[in-house]
Amino acid sequence: MRILHTLWGASIVLSTSVYAQETVQDAARIARDLVDRSLDSVGSMATIFPSEDTRLSAQPFSLPEYYASCHQNGSLTLLFLPISRHSRNILHTPGQATSISITSQRPLASHPRVALIGNVTIFQDIANVPDREFIQQCYLSRHPDAKGWLPDDDEAAHISYWARFDPHTIYFVGGFGDEHYIGYIPFHLYQAAGASKATGVKGETSYGMEQQISMGTRV
């Protein structure tokens, strides 16, 4: 927060939520581009060790995690492997809550980044996975190496399940605060920013990185 002093000694307090050249609508579009058009579809997932953990009870844990943006409403597709530390933490967290952060391909202070906070739904019965064939095709189009640990594959290296991450809160840092939006993005704006995206999108984001994806999206 900055304070400006006038000639008469009065003070004007400026909010730390800076809208300067970048509006919240701009931020919603850029944030959605970061997630949907990521070149590697890898985010930093953050979870919490369960309270019963004897070494790191209630401590934070973060590692990169694969995701695929297969839904127009902003949800993300995950492969949930019970063997992973993230998965074990999520299973012991109320509401199976987690966050996923995505940044630009060159993560600099002047470049945008976004944190999605939400909950994970795990489909342990593969027959109940919505649009399973589409989800699998969408996920493998982003992560072809994942074909070795797909659900319902008797030869897979590990047990896995399809899962869906449903964000409910979006926090965005566009870059330096005197030029870019910093703060929460209303979720309906984030969702709307992806509503008009079509299959095979190609374009350049506001931070100058050309990206291309070739996959469908579902509500």
Q: How confident is residue 153, by pLDDT bands cut at 50, 70 and 90?
A: confident
Strands 11-14 and 2-5: antiparallel
pLDDT at 8 over 50: no
pLDDT at 121 over 60: yes
**More confident call, 178 vs 216:** 178
pLDDT at 14 over 50: no
Average pLDDT over residues 5-14: 40
Average pLDDT, the chain: 83
User: Ramachandran region of residue 74, left (φ > 0), alpha (ψ -120 to 50) or beta?
Assistant: left
Average pLDDT over residues 45-61: 96
Reported pTM:
0.80
The pLDDT value given to residue 20: 54
The pLDDT value given to residue 56: 97
Closest CA to 181 of 161, 151, 162, 207: 207
User: Please, where are the H alpha helices in the chain?
Assistant: 24-36, 85-91, 132-142, 187-192
pLDDT at 101 over 90: yes
Strands 202-204 and 210-212: antiparallel
- State which amino acid sits at residue 61: F
Contact residues for 200 (Cβ-Cβ < 8 A; gap 6+): 213, 214
Q: What percent of the chain has pLDDT over 70?
A: 79
Average pLDDT over residues 55-62: 97
**More confident call, 6 vs 62:** 62
The pLDDT value given to residue 156: 73
Q: What is the largest CA-CA distance in the chain?
A: 77
20-198: CATH topology: Pnp Oxidase; Chain A (2.30.110)
Least confident of 68-82, 96-110, 145-159: 145-159
Domain boundary assignment for the chain: 20-198
Closest CA to 33 of 176, 197, 146, 214: 197
pLDDT at 146 over 90: yes
